[in-house]
Structure 1
């Protein structure tokens, strides 16, 4: 079996960028992805608009032409698919990494479909696959979703949205405009300042006029088939309910990182150890790229400011002494 120069885990925008740089450098590589191409973007809400402008989402020097300055989900899916085809990237989809073993000179990686040997590994697995759970009674009911895609499903239903971030606000506004009776439960005293600037005034005004009910400084305590319990500053409130959108954020696959021997910080952020100039972790030959670098601080890295990780990593792989001459 040939030993690869690089195995890249994750076929999101940054993983693809790493593949492009590896190919330009003449390195042998494979990108493995447990889902579809740009899997996280595929699972974004259908009407989602990026915060970034299209030029800041570009990879590989390929222009991203969109109808509006800030593209939507469908445009991004089409762009990254076309980029993948343009560079003829070696992408293996629906292939999950199951184990890794470090030999003296290279790594052995077992996936659900293949076995690979590689001198270096780039982990660009994102954070969107594992939701932060509330760990409350009833969270496992079928009426509860940690992902939101299309508002029509919730038309004329009583919907509870947990959270006040971009995804929560988008879900609340879109389902409300499809005829849902929407209630929001927000731990903070106000809607997050990180909400897109053209959307935040909309949700604030809908709450002020009473079109959307919001409980601030509150938390969801329990979920039952036909109702939910909310702890508010004024006491316990029980309301009837059909669906719960628990958009409480997401986290990286820390188990995967630890299986690779990567050290995590002891604080709540659980930052994976890596060198900021090379992106190499405490495990020599293993690199991090993209939002996974931020641990629980998922607002630290985005596509636009982590595209440079690909260049840093491949430059370091090119210039360092290889683990072995095979």
Structure 2
């Protein structure tokens, strides 16, 4: 039976950053990823461009050299694969973890869904949040023409598309769909878009709304979805409106997998879903089990991203090898 020094669950940018730190510190480690490397980025919209500049999403000290200031999806996918190759990271792909369990001797067993067991002295959960979409809990949410993920525009040309949400994902999708001949409507529960929408998109989308080329229903919620249409309710007046909808994208955000965290023994705040962890070492209430990246954010996923989540890996490595833990730029105890 092989006992690793460290099992890292999740092969996204923060999980890879943890793997790099483990490799640099001579730890015997293994990364387990349920898809391929950076699976969440692979599932991003195909023409998506990052908000952060390229140098702010670098990992492992390797430069992210591109001609533009901000990387697109394909460039990021290639970059992180090159980092994995450069450091010869040790990983197993398409392994879905069900839970981890601490043993009487202080070691851990990680249980995969196919029955495979992995043994280690320590665990780092770096599973992100992109696999668990926020639910509206309305009739019709699971119909075939409804999705929580937007991919690309060409399938939707000359159809009625409704985008629910007021953040980057819905604004970017609306602009792209409009420019590919879709009839687009944005529905958002608040009176305006979220303040964190990419600054260069705001005047574009607002001008298209002003021109009537993109429709918008602010202060509105979707209350029911049926084939070919959906029902809106204005939150100020209570007025209801049926709207044509050949396709519906519920782009209202995502959450860390609270059930996986609970199965690993991590305590969660019942309201915010923020797990119990030390904001300097990122060790949870389960001694020897650490969190890295957005998995620790609970419902506040906008507070942690690649740009600051990558720094958790070095702090965790310091704690694992007994060094003084370096300060992470933005302390997570603000959550």
Q: TM-score range by the shorter chain?
A: over 0.9
- Whole-angstrom CA distance in 1 between matches of 2:286 and 2:210: 52
Shift of 1:253: 0.3
Moved over 4 A (4+): none
Distance 1:101 1:125 in 2: 17
- Rounded Cα–Cα distance in structure 2 between residues aligned with 1:140 and 1:103: 40
Aligned to 1:104: 104
2:257 pairs, out of 245, 253, 259, with 253
State which of 263, 266, 270 in structure 2 corresponds to 1:266: 270
* 1:136-155 to 2 correspondences below 5 Å: 136-155=138-157
Cα shift at 1:112: 3.5
| Root-mean-square deviation over aligned CA pairs | 1.0
Does residue 242 of the first structure (1) align with residue 246 of the second (2)?
yes
Give, in whole Å, the separation in 2 of the partners of 1:62 and 1:208. 44
Matches within 5 A, 1:172-251: 172-232=174-234, 233-234=236-237, 235-251=239-255
**Pairs within 5 Å for 1:151-166:** 151-166=153-168
Separation (CA, whole Å) in 2 of partners of 1:74 and 1:67? 13
Q: Deviations over 1:131-169 (max 9, x none)?
A: 011111111110001000101111110000000100010
Give the Cα–Cα distance (whole angstroms) in 1 for the partners of residues 294 and 3 of structure 2.
Answer: 28
Q: Which residue does the alignment assign to 1:8?
A: 8
Tell me the secondary structure at the aligned position of residue 304 of structure 2.
coil
- Map Cα deviations across residues 212-258 of structure 1 (whole Å, 9 max, x no partner): 11111100011111211110244101122200011111000000001
Match of 2:278 among 275, 278, 295: 275
TM-score (norm: length of structure 2): 0.93
The aligned counterpart of 1:126 is 128
Query: Is 1:191–1:204's contact at 8 Å kept on the other side of the alignment?
Result: no
Name the stretch that deviates more: 122-131 or 94-103: 94-103
- 1:324 corresponds in structure 2 to none
Q: Displacement of 1:80 after TM fit?
A: 0.2
Distance 1:219 1:62 in 2: 45
1:69 matched to which residue of 2? 69
The number of aligned residues is 319
Could you tell me how far apart the structure 1 residues matched to 2:258 and 2:288 are?
A: 19
How far did residue 121 of structure 1 move? 0.3
Structure 2 residue 31 is the aligned partner of structure 1 residue 28: no
* Structure 1 partner of 2:38: 38
Distance 1:10 1:188 in 2: 34
Gaps (5+ residues) in structure 2? 324-335
Shift of 1:266: 3.0
Aligned mate of 1:305, from 300, 304, 308: 308
Match of 2:318 in 1: 315
Shift in Å, 1:191? 1.0
Determine the C-alpha separation between the residues in 2 that align with 1:226 and 1:3: 54
Name structure 1 gaps, 5 residues minimum. 321-326
Distance 1:112 1:239 in 2: 42
The aligned counterpart of 1:323 is none
Distance in 2 of aligned mates of 1:254 and 1:218: 29
Cα deviation for residue 101 of structure 1 reads 2.2
